[in-house]
Amino acid sequence: MSSQQFLAEKVTTIGSSGIRRIFDLAAKMTDPIDMSMGQPDFDTPDPIKQAAISAIEEGHNSYTVTHGLPELREKIGAQLKADYDWEPSVLVTCGVSGGLVLAMMACLNPGDEVIIGDPYFVSYKHLVNLFGGTPVVVDCYDDFKLKPEKFEAAVSDRTKMILVNSPGNPTGIVAGDAELKALAELARRHDALLVSDEIYTVLSYDGPCPTPVRHAPERTLLLGGFGKSYGITGWRMGYAAGPADVVAQMAKLQQYTFVCAPRMAQHACLTALSTDVSQHVSDYRRKRDLVVSALEGTFEFVRPSGGFYIFPKAPAGFASATAFVEEAIAHNVLIIPGNVFSERDSHFRVSYAVPDEKIIEGCQVLCSIAQGKS
């Protein structure tokens, strides 16, 4: 008798993350040039570390209220008020992923449709399916802009949610204000919730990162996080801000699932919100320029403006991006095939959250492979 019989169909239809497969492969390699990682390569700033240590030593190790520490929610709310003149309900979540899970659980009925731009973050489609919804994917190639007319064409009487991510993973593209305004108006016309994944918003290199909050504050659920900006991805800290009814139901579900975000990390995030990370932003802007300079002329790509990814097109001579990635791995360079993030297998993701010498070395290998096939 196989234990497979105990598993739900909705789980068995979800494949293992292609990113995790690359991570597993990396663990077996000797000193690879690893440009696959989706996390900062800088250490957590000392004041944030010390705040977490102090919280533990002072006995802040029990549960918090489900919504999160009141002082942390107040500080997040004050920042949103200052930035956007917006006073939403706030819930502290276990990372942005935790916020996505709670939002899908709280909002989706069976058959409800969620419109997602392609390329997309790996978990979006799977979470929609897992909670009974239907993902509707909008092709945003080749410039990766959020084309309002394509989103409009994807709307049906089952549309419940529009999910956007800017700066984007895997593309590094920052959505324009006009695009987000058009999607906000679309959500308003069709009575849809606009969910904005803004985990990388601090890492925006060519000006402030626009947000749909400015155009539809009453129907935007903003999912923000601390991990990418402050080097604490493993602490699993995020927040959801938006309509009171939606956030209240997400909090109710958090009570029965995550319970609350880690208490000592919540205390540390109070310090994080007052920590200057502008030097890290400057460092990643420089790394962005370095990887762009190293790849241009050999690869086709859209210049990224945020996050720490670039999403080039696989060169001619390869049947797919996966084939190119396999060749790169054979040359000791770890990158991610684009079909992990997309309905297409035409591009690949490179992370430049690595030391400069690794960027140069890795890009040289990728260019050499591409030129050898041209």
Can you tell me which residue has the tokens 């430049």? 352
Contact 230, 248 (CB under 8 A): no
Q: Which strand (E) or helix (H) includes residue 207?
A: none
Phi, psi of 162 (to 5 degrees): -120, 125
Cβ-Cβ contacts under 8 Å for 319 (sequence gap 6 or more)? none
What is the pLDDT averaged over residues 219-231? 96
**What string of DSSP letters covers 213-257?**
GGT-GGGEEEEEESHHHHT-GGG--EEEEE-HHHHHHHHHHHHHT
Q: What sections of the chain are H helices per DSSP?
A: 9-12, 18-27, 46-57, 70-84, 95-107, 123-130, 148-154, 177-189, 227-230, 244-256, 263-272, 278-295, 321-330, 356-373
Spatial CA neighbour of 257 closest among 118, 122, 105:
105
The mean-pLDDT minimum among 23-37, 201-215, 293-307, 327-341 falls in 23-37
- Residues 258, 129: contact at Cβ < 8 Å? no
Q: Kindly report the CA angle at 311 between 288 and 205, in degrees rounded to 5? A: 30
Q: Are 135 and 128 in contact (CB under 8 A)?
A: yes
CATH class (in words) of the domain with range 62-272: alpha beta
Q: Is 297 within 8 Å of 312 (Cβ atoms)?
A: no
- Confidence at 373, pLDDT banded by 50, 70, 90: low
Distance CA 140, CA 128 (A): 19
- Find out whether the peptide bond into 167 is cis, omega within 30 degrees of 0: yes
Three-point CA angle 185, 304, 48, nearest 5° = 90
Q: Are 129 and 14 in contact (CB under 8 A)?
A: yes
Q: How confident is the model at residue 126 (pLDDT cuts 50, 70, 90)?
A: very high
Ranges of each domain in the chain: 3-44+277-373, 62-272
Under a CB-based contact definition with an 8 Å cutoff, are residues 150 and 164 in contact?
no
Classify residue 295 by its DSSP letter. Answer: H
Do strands 193-197 and 220-225 pair parallel, antiparallel, or not at all (unpaired)? parallel
What is the per-residue pLDDT for 29? 74
pLDDT at 125 over 70: yes
Helix axes 321-330, 356-373, angle to 10 degrees: 120
pLDDT of residue 18: 63
Q: Are 72 and 270 in contact (CB under 8 A)?
A: yes
Confidence band of 1 (pLDDT split at 50, 70, 90):
low
pLDDT digits (tens, 9 = 90+) for 91-109: 999 999 999 999 999 999 9
Structure tokens of 165? 């991510």
Q: Do strands 348-351 and 336-337 pair parallel, antiparallel, or not at all (unpaired)?
A: antiparallel
Distant-in-sequence, close-in-space partners of 259: CB < 8 Å, separation ≥ 6: 63, 66
Question: How far is Cα 205 from Cα 195, in angstroms, rounded to an integer?
Answer: 23
Select 3-44+277-373's CATH number: 3.90.1150.10, 1.20.1560.10, 3.30.70.270, 3.30.420.40.
Answer: 3.90.1150.10
Token pair, residue 371, equals 């030129």
Is-contact 369 335, C-beta < 8 A? Answer: no
pLDDT at 218 over 90: yes
Structure confidence at residue 83 as a pLDDT band (50, 70, 90): very high
DSSP-based three-state secondary structure for 4:
helix
Q: Which residue type occupies 356?
A: D
At how many degrees (to 10) do helices 356-373 and 278-295 cross? Answer: 20
CA-to-CA dists, residue 136 to 10, 127, 171, angstroms: 17, 13, 19
The yes-or-no verdict on residue 280 having pLDDT over 70 is yes
Phi, psi dihedrals of residue 139, rounded to the nearest 5°: -70, 120
Answer whether residue 374 shows pLDDT above 70: no
Query: Quick one: what percent of the chain has pLDDT higher than 90?
Result: 89
